[in-house]
Structures are given as C-alpha cells and as structure tokens.
Amino acid sequence: MTTFSQLTKTMLKTRVNLIHKVFGIYLLVTLVTCFYQTLIHGLRITDWLMFSFSFGVLASLVLAVILAVKQERVWTAPLYRLLPLSETKLYIGNVLTNFFSWIYFEILVVLLTFIMGPTSFVKILPIMNNGSFLEYAVGAGIILIFPTFIWCSVSLVHLLTNTFSDFLPINIQRISRVVLIIILVYGLGKISNLATNSFTMIFASSQATSDANFYLSFIYLILTTIVVSIINIYLLKNWVQATPKTA
C-alpha cells in the first residue's frame, strides 16, 4: 500500500466484505420474517416490501455505526499511519471508502426492496412525482452525505480527545477521555447550532423561500463536512500518532 490507489483498493475490499456480511444478515432476517408472517399470519406477498424497507433502515443504522468504528481505528493504527503516504491522502482515502461503501449498501437495499415487492414499489413512484428532479437529487445527496458528515464529526471528537488527553497524566487519561468527549460533544453541538442559526439568518434576511433553504442546507452540509475534515487532517498531521499494540 504505497500509493493512494492501492490504499483505497485495500480499504474498499475490507469494507465490501463487511457490506456483504451485513447485507447477508439483513437478507436472512427479512426473508425469515416475511415467510413467518405469510405462513402464520397470512401476510400478502405484496406487503413484503414493508418489511424489507423497515429492516433496511435498521441495517443501515447498524452499518453506519460499524463503518464509524472502522474509520476511527485507521487514525491510530500503525498499519496505516506508518505507510509512506501523507495524512491528507490517508484521510481522504478512508473517508471516501466509507462513503462509497455506504452508497453500495444503499443500492443493495433498494434493489432488495424492489425485488420483495415490485408491484408495490412501482405504485409508490407516482406518489413521488410531485417534486422536481433537482429536489430529488438534492434530497438523495443529503441522505448520502449526511452519514459522512457524522463520521467526520465523530473523527473530530476522537482526534481532539486524543490530542488533549496526551497532555494529561497517564493514570487519569481514561477518566479524562470520558469527560473530554462529553465536553467536546456539547461544545461542538453549541458551535454547530450557532453556525446553523447564523447561516439561516443571513439568507432569511434576503427572503429566501423554503425551497431555497432546502438547497442551502445541502450546501451547508457539504461546507461543514469540508471544514471538519480540514481540522481533522491538521490534527492527524501535527498531534495524533499511531498507537502501538500492547501484548
């Protein structure tokens, strides 16, 4: 893994294997539930879509948590931090791998939902034709980018906690990490709310419509993710080091 392409290929391979495992469990739970409901309670096959969608949402939440853990382990793993690659490339490769893995999983969920109830799936489509293509594109963009924003925010808390705790005595670092995490989450939440309110007030003064605010929220999400990522890269370059494994 001496190049950016090799790094992303290796990371993507492990994440795809994870995606397949989570999807396999999701598929098994969905099929077992649908067959049970059909045989015992007389559920119509056309209603299988409901279970596929519900379990798909749950599986997506579980996967988001697992991917967050996978991403965080890279920042202090000697295997990755000692590679002849810059922290910027490591960060971008790690985040992009999570992002594309998430998209891949959501595509699988949509395909399974369609297969489980194609008739019901097609019937839902006319109901969704009230908006424009741009509105649906932006909405899909928010759904896909929001997890990345959460992962980057988690990384910010993680890296800041590691940075601050290094200045504290070793015997109180575990307790201090918990306290620091609570303080950082609270502080970052306050800063985020302040930035959101300021951002809204700036455009509200120009009498922006609700549709415009919808598009602006997408822009705000992207800009915030970029800013958080710049801070994370700075912390990786200057403060956070690899954590050696203990026997």
Please answer whether residues 98 and 15 qualify as being in contact, where contact means their C-beta atoms are separated by less than 8 angstroms.
yes
Secondary structure E strands in the chain: none
Whether the predicted model's global pTM rises above the 0.85 cut: no
176: pLDDT strictly greater than 50 = yes
Q: Which residue has the tokens 């993710």?
A: 225
Q: Which residues contact 69 (CB under 8 A, 6 or more apart)?
A: none
Computed over every residue of the chain, the mean pLDDT equals 79
CA dist., res. 163 & res. 165, Å (int): 6
Q: What are 178-216's pLDDT values in tens digits?
A: 776 677 677 666 656 655 555 555 444 444 455 666 677
Give the percent of the chain with pLDDT over 70: 72
217: pLDDT strictly greater than 60 = yes
103: pLDDT strictly greater than 80 = yes
Q: Range with the lowest mean pLDDT among 28-37, 74-83, 202-211, 234-243?
A: 202-211
Confidence of residue 94 (pLDDT cuts 50, 70, 90): very high
Please answer whether residues 104 and 12 qualify as being in contact, where contact means their C-beta atoms are separated by less than 8 angstroms.
no
